[in-house]
Amino acid sequence: MSHISYTCPKCSNKTYQLGQLRATGGTLSKIFDVQNQKYTSITCKRCSYTEFYKAKTSALSNIFDLFTN
């Protein structure tokens, strides 16, 4: 992800850390342990306030996830 202009809504700090979270979406994905939901997180380095944004996943990454678990 490229550099973004971010200002924390709680403390007005401009430094942040990017992260990623993957989660299951429904019953079948839970049974087969496929994390087909992907989120990007932005965490303020001063106060640790975190925001999550849903990211797109490809079918190929979901299939790869199925076979690597």
Task: Check pLDDT > 90 for residue 12.
Answer: yes
What are the residues facing 44 on neighbouring strands? Answer: 16
Query: Does 1 or 36 have the greater pLDDT score?
Result: 36
SS3 37: strand
Q: Could you tell me the end-to-end alpha-carbon distance of the chain, in angstroms, rounded to an integer?
A: 26
Whether residue 47 has pLDDT greater than 90: yes
Domains of the chain in sequence order: 1-57 (2.20.25)
pTM over 0.85: no
Please report the pLDDT score of residue 64 as a whole number: 44
Provide the 3-class DSSP secondary structure of residue 14: coil
What pLDDT does residue 45 have?
A: 97
